[in-house]
Amino acid sequence: NAGVTQTPKFRILKIGQSMTLQCTQDMNHNYMYWYRQDPGMGLKLIYYSVGAGITDKGEVPNGYNVSRSTTEDFPLRLELAAPSQTSVYFCASKDLDEAKNIQYFGAGTRLSVL
Amino acid sequence: AQTVTQSQPEMSVQEAETVTLSCTYDTSESDYYLFWYKQPPSRQMILVIRQEAYKQQNATENRFSVNFQKAAKSFSLKISDSQLGDAAMYFCAYRSTGNQFYFGTGTSLTVIP
């Protein structure tokens, strides 16, 4: 009963480094989302996907890239990390069926860019 | 873009009492969904309650209920018989027709024993 799994849980990056945040779900959900949560703030949508091969920008996509080659996986790529990307990142998934209109969240990845 | 506003950064309630958290939103859509999420210190996002905009009846989940005023674009959360375990950040969220989600800035709820 894994649900949405994010790795790693914590990471410290140096300015200019790159990394990939991993997200996988085992519920066969079509929709997947990446959010960031800055201290004391709500979640802001970075990118989302409505299915394999399809991705769209959210509110704050600059500095990030995503891909969706399978239904299960939705990795988030940070190129040239900047201090402004210090945040907690959440991945979520949702079923296509409107009757099951619930997002399931991962436990989050805390990223610090120093 | 849709916006979600939570005007109460912090709220407190005595154990066993009732508290209401406020949320307003701005949208031009007629078909959407609204949610309240709870985020305890563990950071895990937990769905508390949801409301479909086309439903006039307010959603209820045990001690949690909402007051959905569509014309006023208001969506408040009422917690009855507050318990210590209710202490957390609460986020109001809006789901657009295009399945994008927008979150408010949150209300930190303290439950006083």
Phi-psi category of A110—alpha, beta or left, where left has phi over 0 and alpha has psi -120 to 50?
A: beta
Q: Which amino acid is at B78?
A: K
Q: Which amino acid is at B16?
A: A
Nearest-CA neighbor of A15 among A81, A85, A111? A81
- Which of A45, A90, A101 is the closest to B50 by Cβ? A101
State mean pLDDT over B3-18. Answer: 96
- Name chain A contacts of B106, Cβ cutoff 8 Å: 40-42
Q: Which residue of chain A has the CA closest to B9?
A: A40
Q: Where do we find the tokens 């990446």? A: A34
Residue A13 has pLDDT above 80, yes or no: yes
Residue B1 has pLDDT above 70, yes or no: no
**Per-residue confidence (pLDDT) for residue A1, from 0 to 100:** 65
Show which of residues 27-56 on chain B sit within 8 Å of chain A, judged by CB atoms. 33, 35, 42-45, 47, 50, 52
**Per-residue confidence (pLDDT) for residue B2, from 0 to 100:** 79
> In a mutagenesis test of the B interface, which of A56, A105, A110 is the best target, namely the one with the most B β-carbons within 10 Å?
A105
Per-residue pLDDT reduced to its tens digit, B35-94: 999 999 888 899 999 999 988 899 999 999 999 999 999 999 999 999 999 999 999 999
What is the distance in angstroms between the Cα of A79 and the nearest Cα belonging to chain B? 24
**Per-residue confidence (pLDDT) for residue A54, from 0 to 100:** 95
Cβ B106–A58 below 8 Å, yes or no? Answer: no
Residue partners of A37: CB distance under 8 A and separation at least 6:
A43, A44, A87, A88, A89, A90, A108
Per-residue pLDDT reduced to its tens digit, A60-107: 999 999 999 999 999 999 989 999 999 999 999 998 877 667 899 999
